[in-house]
Amino acid sequence: MAVFTADKYENKTDEWATPKDVVRPLAEAVGGFDLDPASGAEQTPHADEIYTQDDDGLHSPWHGQVWCNPPFDEKDKWLKKAIDERENYERCIMLIPVDTSTAWFHDYVTEADCICFDGSRISFVKPDGTQGSSPNFGTMFVVFGDLTDELLEALERRGSIFVGPVESTTQLTADEWV
């Protein structure tokens, strides 16, 4: 499930499925996904177990290998949940919009074990299975948990990867550069 602001209001939905060709290489790299806590728009689930909006993945336990394409207008809540649930799952891969200027990015994404800035615009799928449009912003994959060579290779085929977590740095003044 994902949200693009313009489409949400034009189509009255925040249900968008991640295309199988985006998820499949990641699923293969981790031996398949056990849980998708933000499912609903997919005609064929990406994980063995799914939580739909009715199941409330924000308040249900996570486990195993987790795939999560959360509602983009609530990404901060889902990122916090991923961090809070870390001891309960083996790995969580989230697909979210890129916005490095936000508090949620600095509070949560920088805690990830890996970030992959997707090198393309994903064309998400409408709930009826027809092709939707691409959002007018970039997306990234955020990984919490163990990194394997297979997973890093799958992510690297999607875009630029950065292995973290990111450590805080202090900005230098012009005088300090000298």
CATH at 151: 3.40.50
Q: Is residue 56 part of a domain?
A: yes
Interval 72-80 mean pLDDT: 94
- Altogether, the residues listed in the chain come to a count of 178
Residue 166 has pLDDT above 70, yes or no: no
Q: Is residue 178 part of a domain?
A: no
Range of the domain at 130: 5-166
What number of other Cβ atoms are within 10 A of residue 46's Cβ? 22
Give the chain's domain count.
1
Q: Is residue 176 part of a domain?
A: no
Q: Is residue 173 part of a domain?
A: no
Tell me the backbone φ, ψ of residue 143, rounded to 5 degrees: -115, 125
- Token pair for 92: 């969580």
Q: Is residue 172 part of a domain?
A: no
Q: Is residue 72 part of a domain?
A: yes
pLDDT band at 41 (very low <50, low <70, confident <90, very high): low
Q: Note the pLDDT of residue 10.
A: 45
Q: Are 98 and 28 in contact (CB under 8 A)?
A: no
Q: Is residue 34 part of a domain?
A: yes
Percent of the chain residues past pLDDT 90, beyond the cut: 60
Q: Is residue 15 part of a domain?
A: yes
